[in-house]
């Protein structure tokens, strides 16, 4: 089984960036948990599709996260 065209057409990009971002910081406090129940299933589905295409060992799905750690930054900056 060969990889779908949607995946192979972007192969050069994936060689440089072996991660696929799922969501746009879905765990931000500002979202109040709105995306919590859908982020993990989406992540699993994307990784499963990469695995099925034979790319799972080379490309990993990840969820971008903002740590929201204000104590790391000084108020005087």
- Say if CB 64 and CB 23 are below 8 A apart: yes
Query: What end-to-end distance do the CA atoms of the chain give, in Å?
Result: 55
Alpha-carbon distance values, 67 to 29, 50, 56 (Å): 10, 27, 27
pLDDT tens for each residue of 10-64: 555 545 668 888 888 888 888 888 998 999 999 999 999 999 999 899 889 999 8
pLDDT recorded at residue 3:
60
Look up residue 27 and give its DSSP letter: T
Rounded to two decimals, the pTM is: 0.63
Alpha-carbon distance values, 32 to 20, 24, 27, 29, 74 (Å): 24, 14, 8, 5, 26
């Amino acid at each position: 089984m060969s990889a779908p065209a949607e995946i192979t057409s972007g192969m050069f990009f994936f060689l440089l960036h072996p991660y696929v971002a799922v969501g746009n910081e879905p765990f931000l406090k500002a979202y109040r948990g709105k995306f919590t129940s859908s982020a993990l299933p989406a992540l699993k589905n994307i990784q499963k599709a990469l695995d099925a295409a034979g790319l799972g060992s080379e490309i990993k799905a990840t969820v971008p996260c903002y740590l929201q750690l204000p104590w790391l930054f000084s108020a005087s900056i």
